[in-house]
Every structure is written in structure tokens, then in C-alpha cells.
């Protein structure tokens, strides 16, 4: 019963949203470029499914590569921050600076710096999500039980042991929480950067090219928007599955 | 041969706060010494100094013939913290093994009792694969005891391990710990504010008083070994408790 509801309720919610969207478009006769009806988007997708799937895959690749790089660096930096008060206080303002500076403003400079192609895209995905991951890692590692830290110290555990046995597992719950925000940031950065880096493939590349053509571009633009949303949902689902598997011990995964 | 633990004129100040007046205390091999005193008397600080988790402001500490740090590096100290400090992502068995897994080079090659045997001894063999959150407070602290005993260290340091437990569980745990300590000949320093625990477990009790902390009186416990739970109903046990209570009161009045 509960399982059925957990499937049916979100489905009903999405279908209702789609129906309302369709109705609004038809009733107010909204211009296709402003808002395209879901039925037209589905039709466009079914017209060239492999084209859209391939471009989704390209964007997914940018996201996964960018986000994993960002997470790996954040774990390294976060581990140092968590073990030194001085480093933490020194790095914090830099992270905040990266977090609050609108990345759309300096993306052109990044493209000039790294050249057209994949590099500026991966850089933007990693760079925008980095502060989020870093704050998550530091917070998580600092939440490690002080009594457990003393216990490890009582048998003279080295830094590596403290990191692998205590700090990293303790940081996992907050890493998973921040990963959801990082995913949203990374997806937006990937979509936008793909257009700016003049790539040929990728949802952002074809979507932003289509956006320039206000007479015939509406179908492609809106289909890439929906494909990007689907990609985001798939990413969130993957995070939830990984969380279920890795955090069985954590209170958030019980009850 | 010198005693396994020797403190000579050890003091500790935290900033402007004088936590400990000079403390001199020897613990003989195989002896169980309890530091008994009110909260804030510095008894935990003394334990942490012996464990090498804190350095003394003045005075010297010898543990196992060397510095506390050397004893720590050689894993000669089994530490039982106040909270069980179990790692929630490790099963009961993996938690019990934790200290063996760390700093492996110094782990005992032939421990006198295996983790499995110890878990069975404390009645947790059916919970080997359970996670800490599935256990009661008493069971969690039993894992904490096994984790320390599994090291097979010649010195055990226990910091109010049962302080957070309810009275009935505390009594059971006191008897369980007495049973675990009985055959080993391990040198133990036990910190508590429970008179019953001090009386039941110790060979000697250092009664401490506070602000700044000092050893007000050392009381030898004239009870033989082994000690069964029934001992606590005897007149001699009652007499020991009365003596300790009087020593505590005298310490705090001074």
C-alpha cells in the first residue's frame, strides 16, 4: 500500500502539472517560443529520439566528469580545512567568493582562457559546484564524534587512518545532501557553458543555437529544456540510490 | 621493576584555571585503582594525562616504563571513553575490532582472547552483525568494553564508562566488568563518581576533591577476589561504602 502510494502520488502530481501546462498553452494561445505545450515537446522528442538521447548523454558526461572532479578536490581541500582551524578560516572567504560571484558573468573569460571545446564546460561545472561540496565535506568531517577521535588517538592512529576510518565516513551524510545542490548548479553550468563554448553536441549546445532562431527554434529549445530536467531527475535518483546503499547505518535512511 | 603507572607531582592548568594540584600516585602491576570524586574534580584529566591525550603542566608521568606517548604508540593502553563512541557505520563486530585495525604494526599477534570470544563473554554474540543504533545503551557500552579488552593491552583506562546508563543496567555492567577484570591481571585505572562501582571493582581508591583537583585520601579496599555480585549485600561491603562516603565528604569539606 505504502509502496504503491510512493509511486502513484508523484506520478499523479506530474500528470496534473502536465495537464495544467497543456491547458494554459491552449486556452491562452501562448506563443510557442514562450511556452511550448507538453504534447508538442513529446512529439518533437519522438520525431528524433536518438538525436536527443545522444545529446543528453553528452551533457550527462560533462556533468558527471565535472562533478566528480569537483567532489574529489573538495574532499582533499575539505580534509585539510577540517584538520586546521587556520586553513579553514583562510579558505572560507575564497569559497564564499566563488559561491556568490555570478558565474554567467565570467564564463566568456573562461572560454577565452581555456579555448572552445570541452575544457571550459568541465571547468565551469566543477568550479560552480566546488564551494558547495567543500562546505559539505568540512561540515561533515567536523561532525565526527570527538570521543571517537580521542579513542583513535589513544592507539596513536595516523592522519590517514583518521581520514579513512572516521572523517570520511562521518562526512558522507552531508556530502550526499550537498550533492543534490551541486547537481543543480552543475547542470545549469553545463547547459550554459555548452552554448558558450560553441560545442556541436550537448543539450546546451543545440538548445542555445535553437534559441537564436525565434521562428523555428521553439521545438528544439523546449525539448532540450525538458531533456535537461529529466537528466537532473535521473541524477537525483542516482544520488538517492547511492545514499540508500551507502548510508544504511544513518538515521536519515531509517523509518 | 617500577610500577606500570607512576605520577610524580603532576599538575595541569588550562589557561588561568588550575585543574590539578600536584598529584603523586603509583599504580602497581595488576592493580585496579579507582579515581573517585565529584564532577569537575579533575579525575578525567588525570586519566587523559596517563593516556597521553593531554600533557602535564609540571611533573612526570611514567606509563609502562616510558612516556604516555610511547605507550600510546605501542598500543599498551586500552581506553574506554565515557560515551561508547561506536562508529555508526560499523557493525558490532567491526566496532569491537576497531582498535586492532588501527596502527596495526603494534597490534598483539596472539591476543589472549579473540573478539569473538569476548563478544560471547559479554552476551553479544547474537548481535555481531547488528549496527550500534540497534543496541541499547548498556549493550553499546559492552561493545566499548570488548573493543578495549580485545587490544590485550597491559593497561586499561576507563572514564566513567557507565555514567550515562540507568541504575539497573549500571549494576549489571559493574558485575560484568568485575568478571572481565578478574582473571587478567591487567592494570586498570577506573574513573567514576559512583561509590558502589569504586567499592566493587577496586583494590585501591584514590578519593579526589575539587578546585583544584587533588587526591584527598587513598583507601585500600580490604575485599578479596574473586568478587561475586552477592558481595554487595554483605556487611563488609557496606562498611567499605561507608568509609568511601566519609572520605568523599571529608575531601569536599576541606
* ∠ CA B160-B166-B169, rounded to 5°: 85
Residue of chain A with shortest Cα separation from B73: A156
- pLDDT tens digit string along B7-40? 998 989 888 888 888 989 999 988 999 999 988 8
- pLDDT tens digit string along B137-158? 999 999 999 999 999 888 999 9
* Grid cell locating A151: 579513542
When pLDDT is averaged across residues A123-127 and rounded to a whole number, the result is 97
Check whether A247 has a pLDDT greater than 80.
Answer: yes
- Contact across the interface for B102 and A161, Cβ inside 8 Å: yes
Residues within 8 A of A (CB atoms), B 66-125 only: 69, 72-73, 75, 77, 79, 81-83, 85-90, 98-99, 101-103, 106
Whether omega for the bond prior to residue B226 falls within 30 degrees of 0, making it cis, is yes
Chain B positions touching A151 (Cβ under 8 A) are 79, 81, 85, 98-99
- pLDDT tens digit string along A164-205? 999 999 999 999 999 999 999 999 999 999 999 888 899 999
Q: What would you measure as the largest C-alpha separation in chain A, in angstroms?
A: 73
Percent of chain A whose pLDDT exceeds 70: 99
- Contact across the interface for A154 and B98, Cβ inside 8 Å: no
* Grid cell locating A163: 581520514
Bridge-based pairing of strands B214-220 and B155-159 is: unpaired
Using a CB–CB cutoff of 8 Å, tell me whether B133 touches chain A: yes
Q: Decide if B122 contacts B176 (C-beta within 8 A).
A: yes
Using a CB–CB cutoff of 8 Å, tell me whether B247 touches chain A: no
Give CA B9 to chain center in angstroms. Answer: 21
Q: Decide if A156 contacts A91 (C-beta within 8 A).
A: no
**3-state per-residue secondary structure call for chain B:** CCCCEEEEEEEEEECCEEEEEEEEEEECCCCEEEEECCCCCCHHHHHHHHHCCCCCCEEEEEECCECHHHHHHCCCEEEECCCCCCCCCCCHHHHHHHHHHCCHHHCCCCCCCCHHHHHHHCCCHHHCCCCHHHCCHHHHHHHHHHHHHCCCCCEEEEECCCCCCCHHHHHHHHHHHHHHHCCCCCEEEEEECCHHHHHHHCCEEEEEECCCEEEEEEEECCCCCCCCHHHHHCHHHHHHHHHHHHHHHHHHHC
Give the number of beta-carbon pairs within 8 Å between A and B. 69
- pLDDT tens digit string along A23-37? 999 999 999 999 999
- Contact across the interface for B77 and A254, Cβ inside 8 Å: no
- Which residue from A148, A154, A156 is facing B87, i.e. has the nearest CB? A148
Percent of chain B whose pLDDT exceeds 90: 52
Distance CA A163, CA B239 (A): 50
- pLDDT tens digit string along B61-83? 999 889 999 999 999 999 999 99
Distance CA B14, CA A162 (A): 26
- Contact across the interface for A155 and B52, Cβ inside 8 Å: no
Residue tagged 593491552 (cell numbers)? B153
The structure's pTM equals 0.85
Residue tagged 592493580 (cell numbers)? B31
The residue among A146, A150, A155, A176 with the most chain B CBs within 10 A of its CB, best to mutate, is A155
SS3 of residue A222 by DSSP: helix
Residue A253 carries which DSSP code? G
C-alpha pair distances (Å), A122 with each of A126, A239, B60, B110: 6, 20, 58, 53
Q: Decide if B203 contacts B220 (C-beta within 8 A).
A: yes
- Contact across the interface for A148 and B85, Cβ inside 8 Å: yes
**How close, in Å, is residue B21 to chain A by CA atoms?**
24
Using a CB–CB cutoff of 8 Å, tell me whether B126 touches chain A: no
Residue A202 carries which DSSP code? S
Residue of chain B with shortest Cα separation from A154: B72
Using a CB–CB cutoff of 8 Å, tell me whether B51 touches chain A: yes
Residues 6+ apart with CB under 8 A from B148: B78, B79, B80, B99, B156, B158
Check whether A255 has a pLDDT greater than 70.
Answer: no
Distance CA A222, CA A40 (A): 9
Least confident among A121-130, A179-188, B108-117: B108-117
Amino acid at each position: 500500500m505504502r509502496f504503491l502510494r510512493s509511486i502513484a502520488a508523484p506520478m499523479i502530481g506530474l500528470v496534473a502539472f502536465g495537464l495544467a501546462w497543456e491547458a494554459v498553452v491552449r486556452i491562452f494561445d501562448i506563443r510557442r517560443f514562450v511556452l511550448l505545450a507538453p504534447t508538442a515537446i513529446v512529439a518533437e522528442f519522438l520525431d528524433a529520439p536518438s538525436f536527443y538521447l545522444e545529446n543528453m548523454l553528452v551533457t550527462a558526461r560533462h556533468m558527471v566528469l565535472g562533478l566528480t572532479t569537483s567532489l574529489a578536490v573538495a574532499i582533499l581541500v575539505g580534509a585539510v580545512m577540517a584538520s586546521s582551524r587556520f586553513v579553514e578560516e583562510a579558505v572560507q572567504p575564497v569559497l564564499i567568493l566563488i559561491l556568490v560571484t555570478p558565474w554567467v558573468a565570467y564564463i566568456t573569460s573562461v572560454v577565452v582562457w581555456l579555448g572552445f571545446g570541452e575544457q571550459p564546460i568541465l571547468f565551469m561545472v566543477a568550479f560552480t559546484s566546488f564551494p558547495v561540496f567543500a562546505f559539505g565535506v568540512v561540515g561533515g568531517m567536523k561532525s565526527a564524534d570527538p570521543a571517537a577521535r580521542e579513542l583513535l588517538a589513544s592507539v596513536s592512529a595516523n592522519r590517514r587512518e583518521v581520514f579513512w576510518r572516521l572523517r570520511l565516513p562521518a562526512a558522507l551524510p552531508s556530502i550526499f545532501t550537498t550533492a543534490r545542490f551541486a547537481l543543480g548548479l552543475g547542470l545549469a553550468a553545463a547547459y550554459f557553458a555548452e552554448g558558450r563554448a560553441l560545442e556541436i553536441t550537448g543539450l546546451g549546445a543545440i538548445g542555445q543555437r535553437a534559441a537564436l532562431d525565434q521562428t523555428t527554434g521553439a521545438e528544439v529549445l523546449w525539448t532540450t529544456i525538458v531533456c535537461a530536467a529529466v537528466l537532473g531527475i535521473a541524477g537525483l535518483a542516482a544520488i538517492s540510490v547511492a545514499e540508500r546503499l551507502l548510508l544504511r547505518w544513518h538515521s536519515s535512511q531509517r523509518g | 621493576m617500577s610500577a606500570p603507572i607512576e605520577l610524580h607531582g603532576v599538575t595541569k592548568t588550562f589557561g588561568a584555571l588550575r585543574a590539578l594540584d600536584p598529584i603523586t600516585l603509583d599504580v602497581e602491576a595488576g592493580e585496579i585503582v579507582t579515581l573517585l570524586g565529584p564532577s569537575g574534580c579533575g579525575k578525567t584529566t588525570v586519566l587523559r594525562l596517563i593516556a597521553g591525550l593531554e600533557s602535564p603542566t609540571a611533573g612526570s608521568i611514567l606509563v609502562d616504563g616510558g612516556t604516555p606517548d610511547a605507550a600510546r604508540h605501542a598500543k599498551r593502553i586500552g581506553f574506554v571513553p565515557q560515551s561508547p563512541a561506536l562508529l555508526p557505520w560499523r557493525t558490532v563486530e567491526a566496532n569491537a575490532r576497531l582498535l586492532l585495525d588501527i596502527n596495526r604494526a603494534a597490534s598483539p599477534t596472539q591476543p589472549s582472547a579473540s573478539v569473538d570470544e569476548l563478544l560471547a563473554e559479554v552476551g553479544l554474540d547474537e548481535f555481531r552483525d547488528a549496527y550500534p543504533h540497534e543496541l541499547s545503551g548498556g549493550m553499546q557500552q559492552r561493545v566499548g568494553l570488548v573493543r578495549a579488552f580485545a587490544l590485550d593491552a597491559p593497561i586499561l583506562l576507563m572514564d566513567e564508562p557507565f555514567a550515562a546508563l540507568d541504575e539497573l543496567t549500571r549494576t549489571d555492567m559493574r558485575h560484568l566488568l568485575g568478571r572481565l577484570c578478574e582473571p587478567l591481571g591487567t592494570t586498570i585505572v577506573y574513573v567514576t563518581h559512583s561509590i558502589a562501582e569504586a567499592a566493587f571493582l577496586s583494590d585501591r581508591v584514590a578519593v579526589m576533591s575539587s578546585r583544584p583537583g587533588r587526591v584527598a585520601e587513598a583507601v585500600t579496599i580490604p575485599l578479596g577476589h574473586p568478587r561475586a555480585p552477592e558481595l554487595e549485600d554483605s556487611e563488609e561491603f557496606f562498611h567499605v561504602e561507608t568509609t568511601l562516603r566519609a572520605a568523599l565528604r571529608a575531601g569536599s569539606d576541606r
